[in-house]
Chain A
Amino acid sequence: GAVVSQHPSRVICKSGTSVKIECRSLDFQATTMFWYRQFPKQSLMLMATSNEGSKATYEQGVEKDKFLINHASLTLSTLTVTSAHPEDSSFYICSARGAWGTTSTDTQYFGPGTRLTVL
C-alpha cells in the first residue's frame, strides 16, 4: 500500500515551453503533497508544500509564478514549470502525506521522480 506515482517519468522540452508533472497517490488520500527538486549529485531540496484545496506554500527562493502547483483532489497534485529554461533541468520528486488516521504519521511516501531536460 501507500504508492505514489509520477507522470511522466522523463520529459524533454524546448526552452520557453511549459511542462506539467503529475503526482498521484494510488491507494490513499493525500491531504498534503510535497514537491522536491534534486540536481545531479545534490540532495533533495523542498520547493513547496501543497495542501488539497488551498494554495501551495513555497520555500524561500522558489518562484511561485514559474512553478505552478495545483492540488485539486485528494489524490492528485500537479507541478507546471512555465517558460522552462535549461537551468530548470532537474529531477523533480513529489511525496505525499496521508489524511490523519489513514496512514502512518511516521513517514511520507515518495514518487519515483520525473527527470526534466530543457534544451
Chain B
Amino acid sequence: QKEVEQDPGPLSVPEGAIVSLNCTYSNSAFQYFMWYRQYSRKGPELLMYTYSSGNKEDGRFTAQVDKSSKYISLFIRDSQPSDSATYLCATPKGYFGNEKLTFGTGTRLTIIP
C-alpha cells in the first residue's frame, strides 16, 4: 500500500465551480500535510499546509484534514483558468514541512473558461 494515494484524474470543471481534490494516507503517525501546485514543466510550489486535523483557509483555497479517516482535501472556490495545473498532496517524514517529502501521484486539473 502506498503511503499517500491520490486520484490522478484528469479532472475538468467549468470556470467558477468549486473543486475538490483528495488524498488518503496510510500511516496514522503523519502529522503534517501539504498541498503543492505544479504547472507543466515547472517545479512544485507550496499552496497550503495543515497540521493535524481541521481546516485552514487561504483566499479561495481551503485545506482540510480528517485524521480519523486519514483523508486530506483541498477545495478551490471560484475556480479560475489559471488554477489549471497538477495538484500534489504531500507529507514529510517528520514534524516539519522542510523535511523529505512523500508525494501523492498528483491530480491534473483543468478549468474550462
Contact = CB atoms under 8 A, between A and B. Distances in A.
Contact of B49 (A6, A103, A106): A106
B106 A113 contact: no
A93 B44 contact: yes
Interface in B27-50: 34, 36, 41-46, 49
A45 to B, nearest CB: 8
A61 to B, nearest CB: 14
Interface string A46-88: 1001000000000000000000000000000000000000000
Size class of the contact patch on chain A = 20 to 34
Interface centre among B97, B98, B103, B105 (most CB of A within 10 A): B98
B97 A107 contact: yes
| A interface: dominant SS | strand
A111 B43 contact: yes
Contacts of B43: 4, 6, 93, 95, 110-113
Interface string B84-113: 000010000000111111111110000000
Contacts of A105: 96-98
Nearest to A44: B103
A91 B40 CA distance: 11
Interface of A: 4, 6, 32, 34, 41-46, 49, 91, 93, 95, 97-98, 103-108, 110-113, 115
